[in-house]
Amino acid sequence: MAAQTDTPEATRTKEAKRILLAAPRGFCAGVDRAIQIVELALKKYGSPVYVRHEIVHNRHVVEDLRRKGAIFIDELDEIPEDSDAPVIFSAHGVPKSVPADAHARNMFYLDATCPLVSKVHIEASRLHEAGREILLIGHAGHPEVIGTLGQLPPGTAALIQTVEDAAAFEPRTTSENLAFITQTTLSVDDTAEIVGTLQKRFPDIRAPVKEDICYATTNRQAAVKQMAASCDTVIIVGAPSSSNSNRLVEVAQRNGCENAILAESVRQIPWHLIEDATSIGLSAGASAPEMLVQEIIDTIGEKYETEIETITAAEENITFKLPRELRDTAA
């Protein structure tokens, strides 16, 4: 129970919490597919299966798969030479050199790269083949950015992280020859600003035919944007390494709720923020399981009276095909 305050009325106000639940939130089709690929590979080929890097940015997902028999590695040379176990590449995508290396080592691999990341990879390769100078808008060091840059010869694409980078960029060729692509999990608003700066300087710069920021990132940000101003605090369930989860925190902060925080699980909730809040916004990044959101709702419900309202920004019904090798096992 909440601490008692001076009047019964004040106590009642303090104990009633309105939870605004963002929809959509949590798992996207790409994450769902990547997890399914590991689980189906374990079912079909047995344990272990090797997974290069975190399959998705979530400790709970990774631990769960580890318990089921997945071994997470950083690089392919960690796999014993005599192993015939499959290796799976993460949803973020990998540089071209990784499957090439697996092939050279005679490894059997399954690619869990999200098809929307693969779309950006194909785009990058086509632009390069067409002789375009490519600008990749994204965050340095993020696995997806490493994977996308790795579709191109080293040094071919320029990485643009900020409006300042866009303002300072010096093309190597003519501005008509420029093209930009983006990471899939960026802030929609920040990216629009960066693109605006580039288009102002280079009116003929080529944009992706279809938006690179994915539907899941866009929808999750729209729902948080819609509810932020009505919330005293916003909790985004997600890992510190998850780009789309961090962007949701920023979206909430910029759209009316300064008290927006990232929490990996219920254990990281700063309860003083909940205690002081009447309206609590709740969402989850694309790699956070719904179970973690429900755990937070249940725990708030144990401490306070709650009323839940869903704020829906979009309906999602997207699914992606599994790799051919696993379709029978899934059936």
- What residues act catalytically? 144
Number of CB atoms found within 10 A of residue 228's CB: 24
Q: Is the dihedral of CA 58, 59, 62, 68 positive or negative?
A: negative
Residue 87, classified by CB atoms within 10 Å of its CB into exposed (0-12), middle (13-18) or buried (19+), is buried
Q: Hunting for tokens 């937070």 — which residue is that?
A: 296
Q: Which residues, in sequence order, are bridge partners of residue 280? A: 19, 233
Annotate each residue in 270-289 with x if it binds ligand SF4 (CB under 6 A) or - if it does not, as one string.
Answer: ----------------x---
Tell me whether residue 117 or residue 293 sits nearer to ligand SF4 (CB atom): 117
Nearer to ligand SF4 (CB atom), residue 58 or residue 233: 58
Which residues on adjacent β-strands are paired with residue 109? 87
Identify the residue among 70, 76, 79, 91 touching ligand SF4 (CB under 6 A): 91
User: Smallest distance from the beta carbon of 28 to ligand SF4, in angstroms?
Assistant: 3
Q: Is 38 in the site for ligand SF4 (CB under 6 A)?
A: no
Does 148 help bind ligand SF4 (rule: CB under 6 A)?
A: no
Is residue 113 a contact residue for ligand SF4 (CB under 6 A)?
Answer: no
Query: Taking CB under 6 A as the criterion, which residues in 201-260 touch ligand SF4?
Result: 214, 216-217, 244
Shortest approach of ligand SF4 to residue 37 CB, angstroms?
12
| Residue among 29 and 70 whose Cβ is closer to ligand SF4 | 29
| Smallest distance, ligand SF4 to C-beta of residue 208, A | 13
**Per-residue exposure over 245-283, b if at least 16 CB sit within 10 Å of its own CB, e if not:** bbbbbbbbbebebebbbbbbbbeebeeebbeebebbbbb
If phi > 0 it is left, if psi is from -120 to 50 it is alpha, else beta; for residue 120 that is: alpha
182 is an interface residue for ligand SF4 by CB under 6 A: no
Residue 262: strand pairing partners: 236
Q: Is the peptide bond before 270 cis (omega within 30 degrees of 0)?
A: no
Residues in 4-33 at the binding interface with ligand SF4, rule: CB under 6 A: 28-31
Is the Cβ of residue 17 or residue 225 nearer to ligand SF4 in the bound state? 225
Interface residue list for ligand SF4 (CB under 6 A): 28-31, 91, 114, 116-117, 184-185, 214, 216-217, 244, 286
